[in-house]
Amino acid sequence: MTSDITLLRAVTRSRFLVSAWPWRGIAYTATTAVAAGLLWLLLAVPLTPLVSAVWVLRSHPTSPDEAALRTGSDLFAAAVLGVVGVGLLALVMPRLALAVGEVERWRLRLADTAPVRARRIGNLYADPATWRAVAYLMLLGIVAPVWLAVLAVVGLLVVSTPVAVQHRAVSMDSAGSIAGRAVLGLVLVPVLLYLTSAFGGAHAALARLLLCAERDPAEAELVEVTRSRARLADAFDVERNRIERDLHDLAQQRLVSLTMQLGLAKLDLPDDSPAAAAVASAHAQAKTLMAELRDLVRGISPRTLRELGLRAAVEELAAGSPLRVRVDADPGRFPAAVETVAFAAVSEALANAVKHAGATEAVVTTRHAGGTLTVQVCDDGRGGADPARGSGITGLADRAAAADGRLLISSPPGGPTILRVELPCAS
Residue with smaller CB distance to other proteins, 170 or 319: 319
Residue with smaller CB distance to other proteins, 135 or 280: 280
Tell me how far, at minimum, the Cβ of 289 lies from other proteins, in Å.
10
Residues in contact with other proteins by CB under 8 A are 245, 248-249, 252-254, 256-257, 259-264, 266-267, 283, 286-287, 290-291, 294, 298, 303-304, 307-308, 312, 315-316, 318-322, 324-325
Tell me how far, at minimum, the Cβ of 259 lies from other proteins, in Å.
4
Q: Which residues pair with 420 in a beta bridge?
A: 376, 408
Tell me how far, at minimum, the Cβ of 403 lies from other proteins, in Å.
24
Tell me how far, at minimum, the Cβ of 323 lies from other proteins, in Å.
9
Residue 116 near residue 212 (C-beta atoms within 8 A): yes
How far from 248 is each of 19, 146, 296, 316, 330, CA to CA, in Å?
A: 63, 76, 11, 19, 30
Residue with smaller CB distance to other proteins, 135 or 255: 255
Strands 372-379 and 417-424: antiparallel
Residue with smaller CB distance to other proteins, 87 or 332: 332
What burial letters (b/e) apply to 185-209, b meaning 16+ CB within 10 Å?
beebeeebbebbbbbbbbbbbbbbe
CA atoms within 13 A on the CB side of 307: 5
Which of 195, 193, 187 has its CA nearest to residue 22?
193
Tell me how far, at minimum, the Cβ of 345 lies from other proteins, in Å.
21
Output the furthest CA–CA distance in the chain (Å, rounded).
144
CA distance 154 to 152: 6
How far from 263 is each of 147, 267, 285, CA to CA, in Å?
A: 93, 7, 12
Residue with smaller CB distance to other proteins, 206 or 258: 258
Residue with smaller CB distance to other proteins, 202 or 256: 256
